[in-house]
């Protein structure tokens, strides 16, 4: 069995980090929660990065290191432990976003070595997911993502070995894939 994981809000609590770490740090220097939300919501699908956010508010890149400092604290430790047990050869990340920013976040969380391949896309995930499903036709491929729209255009007829799981939390993932948690 092969597993394809989304990164943001599955392995890494990106939204939680934004509200508990990024926003408070920017608030200290005078940027309101509303202004950050407005910028984020307008630019989220346009390859959002912390560096672009800082530039938008005329802040030096020196703030970048501070914004990225606590990133390891926001990884989904329960899921990371499961991924360790699944084996590198069975695990993939396919994440949407700015390649440099996504890879930096993945590296800083300390999980990059747990995956046989990390793929960053700037558009739909369909091609990358279906390529893995085609490569391992005789194995079940489980694709786990928090955004349902990434499932909509997948060709499940052409790739009957591909299964999708809408991630909302670890408990829901446990219910959807109980065998995943038996590796503990």
**Do 104 and 41 share a domain, yes or no?**
no
Total domain count for the chain?
2
**Do 24 and 95 share a domain, yes or no?**
no
Q: How far apart are CA 23 and CA 14, in angstroms?
A: 12
**Do 67 and 79 share a domain, yes or no?**
no
- Does the structure show a pLDDT above 50 at 184? no
Here the CATH number for the domain that contains residue 87 is 3.40.50.1000
Distance between the two ends of the chain, CA-based, in angstroms? 16
- Number of Cβ within 10 Å of residue 58's Cβ equals 6
**Do 79 and 61 share a domain, yes or no?**
no
**Do 166 and 79 share a domain, yes or no?**
yes
Query: What's the pTM value of the predicted model, to 2 decimals?
Result: 0.92
pLDDT tens-digit profile of 31-84?
998 999 999 889 888 889 999 999 999 998 888 988 898 899 999 999 999 999
pLDDT tens-digit profile of 127-178?
999 999 999 999 999 999 999 999 999 999 999 999 999 998 888 888 878 7
* Residue corresponding to tokens 């991924």: 83
Range of the domain at 84: 2-13+74-183
Residues 92, 119 contacting (CB under 8 angstroms):
yes
């Amino acid at each position: 069995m092969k597993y394809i994981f989304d990164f943001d809000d599955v392995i890494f609590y990106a939204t939680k980090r934004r509200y508990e770490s990024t926003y408070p740090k920017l608030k200290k220097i005078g940027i309101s929660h509303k202004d950050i939300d407005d910028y984020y919501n307008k630019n989220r699908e346009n390859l959002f990065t912390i560096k672009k956010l800082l530039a938008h508010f005329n802040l030096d890149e020196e703030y970048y290191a501070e914004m990225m400092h606590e990133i390891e604290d926001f990884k989904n430790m329960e899921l990371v432990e499961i991924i360790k047990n699944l084996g590198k050869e069975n695990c993939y990340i396919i994440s949407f976003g700015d390649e440099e920013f996504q890879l930096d976040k993945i590296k800083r969380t300390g999980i990059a070595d747990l995956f046989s391949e990390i793929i960053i896309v700037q558009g739909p995930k369909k091609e990358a997911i279906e390529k893995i499903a085609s490569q391992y036709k005789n194995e079940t491929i489980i694709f786990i993502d928090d955004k349902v729209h990434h499932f909509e255009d997948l060709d499940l007829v052409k790739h009957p070995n591909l299964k999708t799981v809408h991630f909302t939390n670890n408990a829901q993932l446990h219910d959807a894939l109980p065998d995943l948690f038996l590796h503990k």
